[in-house]
Structure 1
């Protein structure tokens, strides 16, 4: 867990949030959240209000807001081999399904990282962007805890970011027990996962 001073914004607490921090909001896209989508994560909609609070708080503190989105070619040729059948036609570049939820209101000064794998670091320039911006503190929100969040967190550990926080109430998985097990595993593996927010 990060050891820097904690800030409070009503019920939402984000440790180590300032100008050398980045809030990474992961996969909060229409295809993964809206009820009309066949691949939506049922628990995702419940964290949307908390993500809005986290983004607002981080903006007030001068943190960099990074929207991490998954986008694919319409053919599905850039999807992981084991998911090609399920993900063909999902989160296609330029479609409404691939867009961040309108209510989360991304701003022009925010940064967008486009990925085709679980981790926001894999095959992207995220580390370069964060280094160039002087970012030391990473704060994670979004979906899904067992894959997209977890893999990005462990990649951040490998890149030696000194402060990594997963907002446990602002992240979600398919089932609460999966969410909790992965938070526990990240906490044991990195000693940097915040259990409360």
Structure 2
């Protein structure tokens, strides 16, 4: 891929001062964005097969458990009134643009966390109405209360809620790491384009082994204190 200057896109962004490596903190948290049945199960209209993403995210969570790394799960869920109401008009503006999301109703199978994930009672669960896990939720306050300085963002979809969460995370003062194997989308093009964007501007897109090593190292041990 080349830019308008006829040079490789990576070089264009580097020349403009983007793509530097983030500062990795010593108190990480794992934020699992919307790995619910409605997104991971192709039987749902909003879903796709994210088996590999679920497995990789489970591996990352397991790596952080010995160090006590906090885990926050998110789900999108709407009440009947928010999704359509009596006249079928959604109260949430986003649902005019993305009407397929109206199926994500509170209490339904679609909004349940994928049971293949190693979720524990001590993990946090945040219900959101928008793309970002931070918008209109207590996530920033929760992470601050846990004294976290770095978030590893996992989940779905890369082009939607993952990207929005990465943007708001760095804007909220947290360093952002995105393990490539732990995020997924409905199509490869948007997935890769948004990983490029995150890497250039908001966080580091890293390999799973790197993320696991980070959690197992001094940062992870600090998180247990």
TM (normalized to structure 1)? 0.84
Counterpart contact for 1:72–1:78, Cα < 8 Å = no
- Whether 1:130 and 2:143 are equivalent positions in the alignment is yes
- Whether 1:86 and 2:92 are equivalent positions in the alignment is no
- Whether 1:25 and 2:36 are equivalent positions in the alignment is no
In 1: Cα distance, 2:59 partner to 2:22 partner = 20
Q: 2:156 aligned to 126, 136, 143, which one?
A: 143
Q: 1:193 aligned to 204, 222, 225, which one?
A: 204
In structure 2, relative to structure 1, the CA distance for the partners of 1:81 and 1:93 (3 Å cut) is: closer
Unmatched runs of 5 consecutive residues or more in structure 1: 5-15
- Structure 1 or 2: larger strand share? 1
Q: Tell me the alpha carbon deviations over residues 20-74 of structure 1, each in whole angstroms, 9 at most, x when there is no partner.
A: 21101111111111232122124x2221111110111121221100001111112
SS in structure 1 of the partner of residue 181 of structure 2: strand
Runs of 4+ in 1 over 3 A off after TM superposition: 1-4
Q: 2:165 aligned to 152, 156, 159, which one?
A: 152
In 2: Cα distance, 1:128 partner to 1:3 partner = 21
SS in structure 1 of the partner of residue 80 of structure 2: coil
In 2: Cα distance, 1:169 partner to 1:127 partner = 24
SS in structure 2 of the partner of residue 151 of structure 1: helix
Counterpart in 1 of 2:181?
169
TM (normalized to structure 2)? 0.74
- Whether 1:97 and 2:110 are equivalent positions in the alignment is yes
In 2: Cα distance, 1:125 partner to 1:100 partner = 19
SS in structure 2 of the partner of residue 141 of structure 1: strand
SS in structure 2 of the partner of residue 164 of structure 1: strand
In 2: Cα distance, 1:187 partner to 1:167 partner = 11
- Whether 1:121 and 2:128 are equivalent positions in the alignment is no
Aligned length: 180
In 2: Cα distance, 1:30 partner to 1:81 partner = 19
Counterpart contact for 1:183–1:195, Cα < 8 Å = no
Counterpart contact for 1:121–1:152, Cα < 8 Å = yes
In 1: Cα distance, 2:42 partner to 2:164 partner = 26
